[in-house]
Structures are given as C-alpha cells and as structure tokens.
Chain A
Amino acid sequence: MQDLQRLAWSLVGLTLVMTLSACSRQPRYTSPKLGEVVSMQPIAVNRLLASTPAKRGPLKLNIMWGGRMLTSDKGDTTINFRDNAGRIRFTKTWSQLESAYRDTDCSNQDIATLDGSLMGSALICDGSLDLSGIAMIEGIDAKGEKRSATSWAVYMVNENVAAASIGLY
C-alpha cells in the first residue's frame, strides 16, 4: 500500500514539474541554420484581433528595432518614450539599452547586433520596460537629430508576454 502511495505521489510530482516547466517555457529566439527547415504552428487565431494585450497589470514589453539613423559611435543617443499627450514618460539612452540587452540571456547573435549603425537591430528581451500608455518613441542622436518611430506593432510573444516592434525609419 505504501508503495502505491509513493507511486501516486511521484506521479503527482512529475505532473507538477511538467506543468510548471510548460508554463515557464520561454521563447527561443533562435535563428535556424542555413537550409534547416523549421515547422511552425499558428498561434491562437484571435491574437491579431486584440488591439491591446490582455490586462495582466502593466505591460511588460520587449523592444526590437532597427537601429538605422541612430548612430552611437559619435555619441550616445537618447530615446524618449512619450504618452498620448506628448509628455515624456521616461527616457533611456542607447547605451542603457545596450546594457539592458547584455544583462539578458538573449543568445541570437543576429538579433544581438546592437551597434546602432546602419546594420543594427536590437532585442531587449528581459521585459523590463513598461510601455503601457506609450504612444510615441523618438530618438535624438548626439548631434541633436530627432527621429520618431514610424512603425509600431504590438504582438504577443507568448501567452504572458506582450511585445512591441518599433521601427525608427
């Protein structure tokens, strides 16, 4: 009888571990090898319908952007995050974002190329920036040249993480 109980508890434990493991699964952000075929399944079809992600407190958004027009090699770039009224909610410098990137476990070198030059793109994948209520993002480089984000798309990375794709073009 005790053996049966041990077996039952083991099964419960295993189930819990598997469930927690599934719940905490993170996006892979991996780039396949040349020629490797990657099969994908669709996400829930109503994702695109959601104009705003599900309310789970403040949005914790990842950021990915093309780095063109904002060169960091001649000085730091300031990124202003403005709300609907045009007020600056918070400001980050390019170097802060680079640092934030380095503190994450992003492993994709393609995405990780954050040189702020014509070839750059970046992913801040720690979800540490709260972009709820942010309506516009602008970058001001060391020479004072200002660029506004001209594309902005909110999407779901997984069930729990919303993300914003921002293009500064």
Chain B
Amino acid sequence: MTGIWHKMLIILLICGGSACNKSGLRGGTATAVTDQPETTVVVEEVPATTTSAANAAILAENINDTPLNPSFKGGFEAKALVANEENHIWVATAAGDVHHMRLEKGAIKSRKIWTAATPASGTRTYVLEGGAVMLAKNGGHLYFLHDGIPEGAIDKDPAKGYYFRLAGVADTERSCIVSYRKNGKRFVGIGYGLGNFVEIEQDDKLPYAPKFATVTAPVKVTELQWGYSCYVDQVRLQYYGQYFNGTTAGIDLKTMTALDLNKAPNKAFASTNLPALTVGPNAVGNGSYAMSGDRLGNVFNTTGYYTLAFEPRQAMVWGTAGTNLSIYPHDCLYKTPECKGFATYNLMESIGAQIGPMSALGDGNMVGMVRGVGDVYLIKLKVPGNAAQGIDAVKIAEKVGNGGDPYMYTDFTGATLYLTNSLNEFDFTKAGLWDAKAPIRQLGFTWTQVDGTAEELKDIKVEVRCFSDEANKGEFQTVTITARPKAMQLLDVASCVDKITSKAELRLTQLGTTSTSLMKVKQVQLTAFQ
C-alpha cells in the first residue's frame, strides 16, 4: 500500500510540476511583454518568422495581381462562386407523373402535379434556368413544364407549346436533353441515336420556353450511341453523352464538331486509393447511370453509381451506389490522388431505402429520391464540410406519382449548373494576420475570370455586408465594380469599414436576360485591411 501511495505522490508531483511549469511559461511571456516597449509587443504578437516562408505560403492564396505586403495586417479569403438559386425539386416518374415541389424551411411549401407524360420508358430530364423542366422520353417525346401550365393530364396539342415530338428518334430510343446559353441565346440541346445532336432555341424571357419550330437538322459527330446519360459543361459549352456501359463521346457546342475529351480537366486524373473515383469522361468501365460534373469543367462518370452529385457550398460530391451513399471531398475527384475525409453510409439499414437520383440544393442540403418508390429525402451533413461526422435525413415527400420510379438526371434542382445568383461567405481569420480586436480599415474586392473570357464584370449586381451576429446579418449594400481581373478595388461598405467584424457575405446577381458574364467569374476575394 505504501508503494502505491509513493507512486501516486510521484504522479501528483509530476503533474503539479508540469502545471506549474506551463503556468510559469505563460507568466514568463507576460513578463517579457510587460517589460518591453509597446512597439515590441506588436513584434511579439507578429513574430518576424511569420513574414517568411509560412506567411508567404498563406499570402500565396491571395488572387491579387499585386501580392499583399508581407507585413499586411488583416485577413482575406478567395472562393469560387457558390450558387444561390431558388430551390426547385422536380420528380418525373416512369409512370408519367411529374411533380414540381418548392421548399420553405426544409418542408414542401407548394407542389404542382402533371400526369400522362407518355410513354413510360426512357425519361431524361433537365431543369432549365428559371426553374422550368424539360423531359425527353422514348421516341423523342419532349415535354416542357412549369408552374404556369395547368395541372393534370398534359395537353399534347403542339400548338400549346408543352409537347413536341422530335423526328428521327425511334420509338424505343432514348434521347438525352440539356440546356445552355450560347451567343447570347438559350438553347435546348438533345443527343440521340448514333451521335446525332439537335438544338432548339428557347425564348429570351421567363420561363424560357423552347421554340420547338426552330429545331435544327441533326449534326452528327460520332458513330457512338448516345441518349442514355449526358452532361453539359455550360461554361465551356461542351456536351458529353453515352449509352449505358458505352464509351463517351462529346460535341463542342461552340463549333458543333466532335469534342476532344481531353479537354475535361480531370481526364487524366486517377485516384490512388479509391479507383471508383477515377471518373473522367471516359473512365475505365464507364457506366455511370447519370453523368454529372462541376463548375470547373470536370466530368464525373463512373461504374456502379447512379450518379455523383456535386454540392458546391461545402465542396462535396455525393455518390449513390446501390443502397450506399458515399460522400467525398470535391478535390478527391480531380485534384487529390489519395482521397481523405470521405465516408459511406448504408441507407438500407437506416431508412430502408435505395436512393438513386441525387442533386444539391443551394444551401448545402441534398435531395435524394428512392428508386422504385418515389419517396423524396433531404439529406445534410451534421457537421458542414465534414463527411465522416454523420448525416441527417428527413423524408419530405412520399410515394411521388403513387410510388413511381423517379428518373432524374444530373441537376434536378437547377441549383448547381446555372448561375444567376451567388452567395459567398468570407471568414477573414482564415488567411493573413488577423487581429480580433482591431477594426477593418478598408475592404478590398478582387475577382478572376474563367480562362479565355471577357475581363469585365458586366450586368452583375454586387452586394456586400459584414456581420458579427449570424442570426442578424443586417442589410446588403450594393457596390459598383469597375476593377479588371486580379486588380483590387476598395469598397466603402458601412457594415465593414471601421467595424470590428471578421465575416462578410458577397452576393452577385445576374442582370439582363442574355448576358452570360456571371458564369465567367472564376473566383472572388474579399480582403480586410486592419
């Protein structure tokens, strides 16, 4: 017993000594600061070493043409634009039912229902800018639906403009439909058969109805079968299509010629620890049920998944395969060969469901649809940006279309492909040398454009606000941007300048109906000088 007491005493002594030692170190620092002149205190807080390698590395993230001075005081953050579109959830089922749901606070606030979108098979969908939807069904039966069209059985009188049959598509043949903007106009584009592609011009005002009579003669760019799955890179105007388990072929929509697949940024990317994430357009094995991509031009095409859905707000890619749901950091699919921080969830065990179609909303939530059943779930990460800390799922609709099998492709919310509104949050403590007690003296704005595009921010409303209270962020203030890419423009925003705050939001809104400039913005940066 005595031995035990001795040991405990020794442990206590070590612990106590350790604690005293730490306390002594803190005290020593304080003493040193107190003993130094005030100017030296600043040096103590910002050691000379931080301006060398480590600081240079931090400042390197800054996108300004003129690097920030190494003695820069303040913080900055550069980000790609995050879409802030209105949430739409479209569900088209094999039975011919089509539902359009809108959300409010995580619950459905409105729902419109149409029926008789026949035939049953081969539904392919695309949500248009503005929230309408296009369906392409077997045999080239095209449907255009939005909330202004009477509910119930769809009137197939071509004169009404809701229905059109595309000639040249066989009764049992699929066609894969997308939409994009080109030369100041909006188009619906459809790939079918052996490499055929047609365009239909859309109206220039909401809801951007397709003008079916303008359908072009088919352009043929490949002998490969199209129509099962497709993806359009709206920024670069590149369409990728394939048949199930087939080889991918693409068309350059600018020139209407065959696309060099090597143009996809992740064409040569290979994952070293997750072979399933080697997902370039012609990934080994092919076979993604619904091809997809991101705003960087990467194409996600992989075997065994229904789809890989990009969620831009938290930079994650959500993949549905069988009854599993996997979530990967975005860079695992194009930049980082050894993927870390991913996780897989067994939905069958948790909610008795096999989710197939999946798409991001603008707020970090995902929408998932249960195959064969038609239930609709909202799913989110418990800890934003962390795939491995659990997910929460809530069923928001049951047996859509009386339990129809939902057929939705790529982005069925319209939140991640088109970009007419963006909302980015900036945390000035992330980079730079931030003093939590000092006010912001000046606020700088910098942007960069997608390579090869115009160097002006045209027809874009720019709004900024700084805030400290997440629950009460205050009003946005509109500013006018005249700066060219990479040049910094100082903004006189009342909620930021002379205020002690470390967070800001930037909201960009596309003005006009035909401009494409917001989609050409690559990165934005806010810099707070203290």
Contacts and interface: CB of A to CB of B under 8 A. Distances in A.
Nearest to A107: B352
B395 A29 contact: no
B107 interface: yes
A155 to B, nearest CB: 4
Given A42-B343, A110-B352, A150-B244, A68 B274 contact: no
Interface string B368-381: 00111101000000
Interface string A84-99: 0000000000000000
Contact of B390 (A36, A41, A65): A41
A40 B345 contact: yes
A72 interface: no
Nearest to B321: A153
Nearest to A165: B322
B398 interface: yes
A45 interface: yes
Contact of A34 (B324, B342, B398, B405): B398
A124 to B, nearest CB: 13
A109 to B, nearest CB: 10
Contacts of A153: 304-305, 321-322, 324
Given A68-B405, A154-B322, A157-B346, A165 B354 contact: yes
Given A31-B351, A33-B395, A38-B393, A45 B388 contact: yes
B276 interface: yes
Given A118-B404, A154-B322, A40 B354 contact: no
Contacts of A44: 344
Contact of A110 (B323, B375, B390): B375
A105 B370 CA distance: 21
Contact of A66 (B305, B352, B353, B405): B405
Interface residue range, chain A: 35 or more
Contact of A48 (B95, B276, B388): B276
B352 to A, nearest CB: 4
A27 interface: yes
A39 B349 contact: no
A120 B373 CA distance: 8
Interface string A52-83: 00000000000011111100000000000000
B220 interface: no
Contacts of A154: 322
Interface in A105-154: 108, 110-111, 113, 118-121, 150-154
A167 to B, nearest CB: 8
Given A64-B354, A108-B352, A155-B323, A118 B370 contact: no
B405 A111 contact: no
Contact of B344 (A33, A47, A120): A47
A37 B352 contact: no
Interface string B139-176: 00000000000000000000000000000000000000
Contact of B372 (A40, A49, A69, A119): A119
Given A66-B405, A110-B352, A155-B324, A48 B398 contact: no
Contacts of A108: 352
B342 A45 contact: yes
Interface string B381-393: 0100001101111
A30 interface: yes
Contacts of B342: 45
17 contacts: A28-B350, A32-B395, A34-B395, A36-B395, A39-B392, A40-B350, A43-B324, A64-B323, A66-B371, A110-B375, A111-B352, A120-B372, A121-B373, A150-B244, A151-B287, A153-B324, A167-B371
Given A40-B351, A48-B324, 19 more contacts: A29-B348, A29-B352, A30-B352, A34-B395, A36-B395, A37-B393, A40-B392, A42-B388, A47-B344, A49-B273, A66-B372, A66-B405, A67-B372, A68-B405, A113-B403, A150-B244, A156-B346, A157-B323, A163-B322
Interface of B: 94-95, 107, 120-121, 244-245, 273-274, 276, 287, 289, 304-306, 321-324, 326, 342-354, 370-373, 375, 382, 387-388, 390-399, 402-405
What are the 4 tightest A-B residue pairs by CB atom distance, in nearest-first order?
A121-B372, A165-B322, A153-B322, A42-B343
Interface of A: 27-45, 47-49, 64-69, 108, 110-111, 113, 118-121, 150-158, 163-165, 167
